[in-house]
Amino acid sequence: MFLDFEKWHGAKNDFAVTWISDLDGDLVLNSLKRQAPKLCDRHGGIGADGVLVLQTKKPRELTPYKLTIINSDGSVALNCGNGLRCVAASVRKRHRDHGDPKELPEAVELEVEGAPKICRFLKQTGEAPLVAVEMGVPLVGAAVAWRREAEAAVAKVMAGHGPYEVGVCTIGNPHVVITTDAASRELMLMVGPALQKAGPWDGVNVHVVKSRPLEGKDQARAGNELGATLADLYTAYVWERGAGETQACGSGVCAIAAVSLATGLVERDAWVGVDMPGGRLYVRWEEDAEPAVLAGPAAFVYAGKIEV
């Protein structure tokens, strides 16, 4: 059979997006899980960090109700901020191409492994509006059951690499945030793989982070994109469980911001910016019991068909 797909990326975190209906059943979905490594291969396949499967009740419907996030190794993720923005933009594109282009959706709500996720378009004009996603309520620090084990695991892999701080967060999936002035891609490539089996988890997202001074150009950019100012700005490098090194990680940006905001040193109604290799993303987390909001771009690359 042939699979119709769209290639999208959110801050260079790239995905193959495909649509199925309930009539396709679990047969197609399970096939995509098995074939994800082949489909995501950057030499023999589409080339992607994962496969995003949007599901409708009936064929050719414009609005899906469900999303399955398949990592490049075939495992299923509970959350993916960059992927959520990409599928929301795909829904908007389908409405524009096959519905009434004057009646584009202002928001998209999807079920992801039983949890509702809401995506909103911050700008209703232009071809590529910024997309904001409610990512769920982060658990940070002592609220994370495996915090002590994570700190011990990081201590082993970071030995001899200078001072650092470690934070932990769960937001649908587990995250370890290592803040150090020595943050670099090379350090991430060392600690990321080393931590995958070093703690009480089935893989973990690892972020090596350093703080950056806020400049006037950063506030001007935030004002243009968000209509707000930034309270903090970081540079980060990411290793994602099930995918390896990626250009950006939406839930990871939320984890980085949540660890920062939980210190109480930053106003909770402020936005935090995080620069990853693929681009800049923004997070706001106003209250402990409220979901973190991730904002950033989603870009269409091309549409295609591949035999599966």
Half-sphere exposure in the Cβ direction for 94 (13 Å, CA): 19
Catalytic residue among 80, 86, 119, 254: 80
CA angle 190, 76, 277 (to 5 degrees): 40
Dump pLDDT digits (tens) for 84-141. 999 999 999 999 999 988 888 999 999 999 999 999 998 654 456 789 999 999 999 9
SS3 content of the chain, % helix, strand, coil (to 5): 25, 35, 35
pLDDT in tens, 57-70: 999 999 999 999 99
What's the rounded Cα separation, in Å, for the pair 121 and 105? Answer: 8
Tens digits of pLDDT across the chain (308 residues): 788 999 999 999 999 999 999 998 788 999 999 999 999 999 999 999 999 999 999 999 999 999 999 999 999 998 899 999 999 999 999 999 999 888 889 999 999 999 999 999 986 544 567 899 999 999 999 999 999 999 999 999 999 999 999 999 999 899 999 999 999 999 999 999 999 988 889 899 999 999 999 999 999 999 888 888 999 999 999 999 989 999 999 999 999 999 999 888 778 888 999 999 999 999 999 999 999 999 999 999 999 998 87
Q: What are phi and psi of 202, to 5 degrees?
A: -95, 70
Is position 169 annotated as part of the catalytic site? no
CB 274 within 8 A of CB 280: yes
Angle of helix 185-194 relative to helix 147-157, nearest 10 degrees, comes to 120
Judge whether 86 counts as a catalytic residue: no
Q: Rounded to two decimals, what is the model's pTM?
A: 0.86
User: Residue 118: CA atoms inside 13 Å, Cβ hemisphere, count?
Assistant: 9
Distance between CA atoms of 80 and 94, rounded to whole angstroms? 21
User: Which residue in this structure is represented by tokens 């994602």?
Assistant: 240
Task: Delineate the domains of the chain, giving CATH numbers in brackets.
Answer: 2-136+298-307 (3.10.310.10), 139-290 (3.10.310.10)
The CA distance from 86 to 80, in Å, is 10
Query: How much of the chain, in percent, has pLDDT values that exceed 90?
Result: 83
* Four-point Cα dihedral 120, 124, 126, 128, nearest 10: 0
The catalytically annotated residue of 40, 169, 249, 254 is 249
Tokens 């499967």, residue?
53
Distance CA 298, CA 273 (A): 17
State which H helix or E strand residue 146 sits in.
none
| Token pair 């191409």 in the structure block, residue | 97
| One-letter amino acid of 302 | Y
The amino acid sitting at 1 is M
pLDDT of residue 142: 94
Please check whether residue 54 is in contact with residue 66, taking contact to mean a CB–CB distance below 8 angstroms.
Answer: yes
